[in-house]
């Protein structure tokens, strides 16, 4: 690519975004509530057992969060069925790019996780609840429906290390999950 094209291409794309979409609003502080539904595909492994990834399990969930500039914190509850769920508390970074009506959201963070009923590992009767750490990263494309209401589609991936007692016990499980979802987001920014 010629040097002139390298300079002009970003300028043309930027000008088109400004002309077609309007200016995006960047809030310093925002709080949000999100409802989501989607498919989860998890796999887990411990010293004696290796679980194959699930073919896609239906999930319904809620997320409550807050942002300050690029920093984000949220709590999340995903339910996979009766007595099968995952709760998370995450602190991380988030960036939104786009126009006032359409945006691409990228985020990543680390935090704590509680698994109930083997939601991400083995769904068998009597599986103990497990607690541990999790690292997540995700992306979503969101479109504005009303001033504080967004509809989006996203994908989140995570790696986790959980155990029924001590994180360093023999029953510790490490695994990963990919969650594809549709979500409805109510967001108030200041």
pLDDT at 26: 65
Which of 186, 107, 109, 126 is closest to 152 using CA atoms? 186
Cβ neighbour number for residue 136 with a 10 Å cutoff: 22
pLDDT at 114: 94
| pLDDT(59) > 70 | yes
Which has the minimum average pLDDT: 48-62, 72-86, 94-108, 139-153? 48-62
Looking at every residue in the chain, the average pLDDT score rounds to 84
pLDDT band (50, 70, 90) for residue 22:
very low
Cβ atoms of 124 and 135 within 8 Å: the answer is no
CA distance 150 to 34: 9
pLDDT tens across 110-141, in order?
Answer: 999 999 988 888 777 778 889 999 999 999 99
Helix (H, G, I), strand (E, B) or coil at 180: strand
pLDDT at 82: 82
Q: Which residue has the tokens 């988030």?
A: 94
pLDDT band (50, 70, 90) for residue 165:
confident
pLDDT at 140: 97
pLDDT at 8: 52
Residues recorded for the chain: 190
Beta-bridged to residue 27, according to DSSP, are none
Which of 50, 125, 53 is closest to 84 using CA atoms? 125
pLDDT band (50, 70, 90) for residue 78:
very high
Which of 98, 27, 36 is closest to 61 using CA atoms? 36
Radius of gyration over alpha carbons of the chain, in Å? Answer: 19
Distances in Å between the Cα of 167 and the Cα atoms of 53, 54, 113, 128, 131 are: 23, 24, 12, 14, 8
25-189 topology per CATH: Porin (2.40.160)
| pLDDT(9) > 70 | no
CA distance 119 to 107: 23
């Amino acid at each position: 690519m010629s040097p002139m094209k390298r300079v002009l291409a970003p300028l043309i794309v930027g000008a088109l975004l400004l002309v077609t979409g309007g200016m995006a609003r960047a809030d310093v502080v925002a709080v949000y509530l999100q409802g989501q539904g989607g498919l989860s595909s998890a796999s887990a492994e411990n010293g004696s057992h290796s679980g194959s990834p699930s073919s896609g399990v239906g999930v319904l969930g809620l997320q409550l969060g807050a942002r300050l500039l690029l920093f984000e914190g949220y709590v999340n509850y995903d339910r996979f069925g009766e007595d099968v769920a995952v709760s998370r508390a995450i602190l991380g970074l988030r960036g939104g790019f786009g126009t006032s009506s359409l945006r691409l959201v990228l985020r990543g963070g680390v935090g704590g996780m509680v698994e109930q009923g083997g939601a991400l590992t083995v769904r068998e009767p009597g599986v103990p609840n497990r607690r541990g750490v999790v690292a997540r990263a995700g992306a979503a494309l969101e479109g504005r429906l009303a001033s504080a209401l967004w509809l989006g589609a996203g994908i989140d991936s995570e790696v986790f290390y959980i155990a029924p007692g001590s994180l360093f016990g023999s029953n510790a499980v490490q695994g990963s999950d990919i969650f594809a979802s549709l979500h409805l987001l109510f967001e108030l920014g200041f």
